[in-house]
Amino acid sequence: MRVILAEDSTLLREGLVRLLVEEGYEVPAAVGDGEALLAAVAEHRPDIVVADVRMPPAHTDEGLRAALEIRRRWPGTGVLVLSQYVEKRYATELMSGDVDGVGYLLKDRVAQVTDFLDALDRVGAGGAVFDPEVVRQLLARTTHTDLLARLTPRERDVLDRMAEGCTNASIAERLGVSQSAVEKHVNAIFDKLGLLHVTGYSRRVLAVLRYLGS
């Protein structure tokens, strides 16, 4: 898999390059700002881009805006945003469209290198991976928070795992409940949030995220 990195911290950028190369990924470019990222993607056409949100010159949302531009210009390129922050405006835009091949993780919450590599592979394969905290913060800005208040604590747990891209079987294993119980919770979540029933974990995430952007 060919990966381009965009991270303004030189130490972190070089560390990620070494990690990915050691794990068998090809890294044709590693850059430090949004403009350089767009130029690198145009030149190398990678399978996936890993981008920080805040980069030079303003250190606000340059990386995320570049990620949106990449999705617009090259929709087949996976985008994994790796950040310390949830930039709500553009994160909602990124997560409200087609989320196949899209991810948003918070750096401080990636506990294991294997978790990061697993997320990278899933996004590169066309899946969707979102940190539950990202979803939670976006939920808080919507005008439909009252609908979420209707969910039980267990349904919130299931929704968190759905946002991570887990299947029902995986959710059941993580929560220590039966798969049929998870299916009931999922149906209840869709009913309470007014979402249409769809199948496939990425479609479920898409349904939830489209709701967030409504």
pTM over 0.75: no
The Cα–Cα gap between 186 and 7 comes to: 37
* Domains of the chain, CATH where assigned: 2-140 (3.40.50.2300), 143-212 (1.10.10.10)
* pLDDT tens by residue, the chain, 214 residues: 999 999 999 999 999 999 999 999 999 999 999 999 999 999 999 999 999 988 888 787 888 889 999 999 998 899 999 888 777 777 777 776 677 888 888 888 777 888 899 999 989 998 888 887 777 676 665 545 566 777 788 988 888 777 766 778 888 998 999 999 999 988 888 777 766 554 444 556 655 665 555 4
* Partners of 80 in beta bridges: 50, 103
